[in-house]
Structure 1
């Protein structure tokens, strides 16, 4: 039943609104099938991305400029702080170097007054490690420098940390060095804090040295630094050897046994420095005075005068020096 002003809906009206939707679904289905078989959508996305990339670059330019500016100023501030810190350290190190130079000059003057130890300087030579043997019973390394390079048996070997050992065998092109921790190695050391002298022996371990027979009255503590004492002349004085880790009485309770950690990096590193003390002729000192002329006792009365060589009768006789 139809009312005036409200006409009944017709079938053609519903079909007209559904046909576009069916057309869209058909087009979408065709596109999906085509994309599945030919990958047209992926290619289209690549092309669109290439076209839109300049727009993205322009859109992100303000952010990139802001980040670059902040990074530039932060890096500039950090570099300024680092420069100031290094400048202060340089001034401190320069003052320390001047003091060390003054101490070295004073030490040289004192050596000149004492005599017998003047004219020593440090000779150093760089060598590379080509073989390492860290067996507990045999700890040695082989260097690429030998007799042709001036290496000598007995030269001390150090690295950036401290004493490594000493050269025991030299060939024309290579040399073998005994490490500090070898059971057959020993080095005279001195406690830097107190000056106490001792002998540090190798234990076969790369992280341990042993100092036996220290008197009970010896002032040695955990944390004390050990340096070479220079006794014997094999190791120049003053090089770091190790740090005391423990101190305990021995079995007899009459002495103290200390254990130390080596300062050198025995299990790493590829280069070492060979050092030795050499004498120079600069500080040879003044010449010694000539020996005094012996004075002979006069011949006793009545004794025969010694015979005189006729060829020396007219030779001038030596005169006694006058004070």
Structure 2
């Protein structure tokens, strides 16, 4: 009741109260017009915002602190999990490395039992194809290297994709190579997946080899890759020969026969490599290159 009496006294029916009210209204209108026309109060609002900004920062501080704490916990948990996973992978890698070392040592001992006939290293020599035999029943090529370059009979030829053939004749500066697709050619092979050893024969067709006399129990199937087995000594072990296209029973139904697509580009290469084994006495590891003759 005292508040109401004071208000009535200030803005009552009297002339003094009315004049003060009109004065307040006039001042408010002038300030609004001045701010709208000239923007005089903009700087005042900016300074007032600067003064109030710490209050907003303090009000939002608890939320920011909680968010930072939660992010820190999540990041630490992720780092701990990643660290544990990497330690597990490291232990697994070390175990696999130890196993590979043991296998390499065992492989080395087995090769020593074979008197080192299948060495780890091979030597290579580049040769250029000078001519191709046009006889459809003889798949042969002429090379620009001969006995003066160290060529020897039976030496193997490869290209970037696999086995090409082997040397059958040579002179001082020239040599003739028999391609693996020639009907008179045979190469000892091994199935990469199962380790089964077989013999692949040429068929007289540039895109097909034949592997006969496969036992019924032989583990070979379409899609298997064949590589040289190294048996016989002419072809170093491990070079690609081809891919099995199909496996079917032969005429006797006692054995199976496989059709193989050669890995090498027999009709699209201008250069090949002559390769031969170099006995490795102390090396333990995958096949490498011991020497390169120009």
Instruction: Indicate whether the TM-score tops 0.5.
Output: yes
CA gap of 1:150–1:211, structure 2 versus 1, over 3 A, is same
Contact between 1:136 and 1:182, CA under 8 Å: does it hold in 2?
no
Which secondary structure does the structure 1 equivalent of 2:108 belong to?
A: helix
Q: Unpaired runs of 5+ in structure 2?
A: 1-92, 283-294
Match of 2:188 in 1: 188
Cα RMSD, aligned residues only = 2.5
Which secondary structure does the structure 2 equivalent of 1:268 belong to?
A: coil
Q: Which structure has the higher relative contact order (CA within 8 Å, separation 6+)?
A: 2
1:234 aligns with 2:241: no
Which secondary structure does the structure 1 equivalent of 2:244 belong to?
A: strand
Match of 2:135 in 1: 135
Contact between 1:148 and 1:172, CA under 8 Å: does it hold in 2?
yes
Which secondary structure does the structure 2 equivalent of 1:108 belong to?
A: helix
Structure 1 segment 107-122 matched on structure 2, within 5 A: 107-112=107-112, 114=113, 116-117=115-116, 120=119, 121-122=121-122
- How far 1:136 sits from its partner (Å)? 2.9
1:177-230 deviations in Å (ceiling 9; x for gaps): 000000000011111111111110000111000011111111110000001111
Cα distance between partner residues in 2 of 1:124 and 1:137: 29
Taking structure 2 as the reference length, the TM-score comes to: 0.58
Contact between 2:118 and 2:277, CA under 8 Å: does it hold in 1?
no
CA gap of 1:105–1:146, structure 2 versus 1, over 3 A, is farther
Structure 1 segment 188-267 matched on structure 2, within 5 A: 188-267=188-267
1:260-311 deviations in Å (ceiling 9; x for gaps): 000000011111000011346x55xxxxxxxxxxxxxxxxxxxxxxxxxxxx
Match of 1:270 in 2: 270
Structure 1 segment 68-83 matched on structure 2, within 5 A: none
Q: Unpaired runs of 5+ in structure 1?
A: 1-94, 284-323
- How far 1:126 sits from its partner (Å)? 0.7
CA gap of 1:247–1:115, structure 2 versus 1, over 3 A, is closer
CA gap of 1:108–1:257, structure 2 versus 1, over 3 A, is same
Contact between 2:117 and 2:233, CA under 8 Å: does it hold in 1?
no
How many pairs align?
A: 185
Taking structure 1 as the reference length, the TM-score comes to: 0.53
Cα distance between partner residues in 1 of 2:134 and 2:217: 36
CA gap of 1:125–1:106, structure 2 versus 1, over 3 A, is farther
Contact between 2:213 and 2:256, CA under 8 Å: does it hold in 1?
yes
1:150-196 deviations in Å (ceiling 9; x for gaps): 11111000001100000001110011000000000001111111111
Match of 2:19 in 1: none
Which secondary structure does the structure 2 equivalent of 1:138 belong to?
A: coil
Match of 2:9 in 1: none
Match of 2:39 in 1: none
Which secondary structure does the structure 1 equivalent of 2:265 belong to?
A: coil
Cα distance between partner residues in 2 of 1:135 and 1:226: 28
1:69-114 deviations in Å (ceiling 9; x for gaps): xxxxxxxxxxxxxxxxxxxxxxxxxx9xx99x957666335434x3
- How far 1:119 sits from its partner (Å)? 8.3
CA gap of 1:136–1:119, structure 2 versus 1, over 3 A, is closer
Which secondary structure does the structure 1 equivalent of 2:233 belong to?
A: coil
